[in-house]
Amino acid sequence: MAKVYLAVGTVTGTATAVAQALAARLEECGHSAIVDTTPGVEALNDSAADAVLICTSTTGRGNLPANIAPFYMQLEQQCPLQNGRPFGVISLGDSSYDSTFCAAGGLLQERFLELQGTEPVPRVTIDATETVTPDDDALFWLNEWIEKAL
Ligand SMILES: Cc1cc2nc3c(=O)[nH]c(=O)nc-3n(C[C@H](O)[C@H](O)[C@H](O)COP(=O)(O)O)c2cc1C
């Protein structure tokens, strides 16, 4: 059984609902999940998680939602090395924003790679113009991530 720290970035709650679906699936598979809607490096460290998931939307023009922006800055300032710990990123966005499509998820992906996390399954992008069931799309991706990361 693995413990997963699940950091959520959201403005209007879609990513929270997706994260809750991911946590429920992890628990069905015998793992435990900590869903954190005010994520931070201290909470991540305290969790002693075996793996990390980031489920975030993008706001503004490619910006991080306000609730996850401090986490991003802490990762930059404190540089908590991941020593190969597996992570995965679920990016919610809207392709009509073109060049900033799912950019926030991309920022966190880059940060975790710089911190020497391993990404066994590439970041998934979930496009609000293409799906009305983002949780189903995320769960499909999660199956492979569970197999490879945990
Ligand atoms: C004001 C605003 C700005 C947005 N900017 C972007 C953007 O730059 N890139 C993108 O991919 N999606 C953008 N989106 C789309 C959201 O990321 C998308 O609708 C997402 O599903 C919202 O999830 P949430 O409810 O968890 O915040 C924007 C949405 C709003 C309302």
Dist. CA 94 → ligand 1 center (Å) = 6
The CATH number of residue 56's host domain is: 3.40.50.360
Q: Is the CB of 12 under 6 A from ligand 1?
A: yes
Interval 75-98: pLDDT, tens: 999 999 999 999 999 999 999 999
Decide if 61 contacts 124 (C-beta within 8 A). Answer: no
- DSSP letters, 88-127, are EEEEEE-GGGGGGTTHHHHHHHHHHHHTT-B-SSPPEEEE
* CA atoms of 126 and 146, how far apart (whole Å): 18
Q: What is the pLDDT of residue 88?
A: 98
Domains in the chain: how many in total? 1
CA triplet 32, 138, 42: central angle to 5 degrees? 45
Interval 23-79: pLDDT, tens: 999 999 999 999 999 999 999 999 999 999 999 999 999 999 999 999 999 999 999
Confidence class for position 149, pLDDT limits 50, 70, 90: very high
- Region 132-142: what's the mean pLDDT? 97
Q: What is the pLDDT of residue 51?
A: 98
Q: Is the CB of 101 under 6 A from ligand 1?
A: yes
The ipTM assigned to this model is 0.99
Q: Is 45 helix (H, G, I), strand (E, B) or coil?
A: helix
Q: Is the CB of 93 under 6 A from ligand 1?
A: yes
Q: Which domain holds residue 56?
A: 3-149
Task: Tell the residue nearest (CA) to atom 12 of ligand 1.
Answer: 93
Q: Is the CB of 7 under 6 A from ligand 1?
A: no
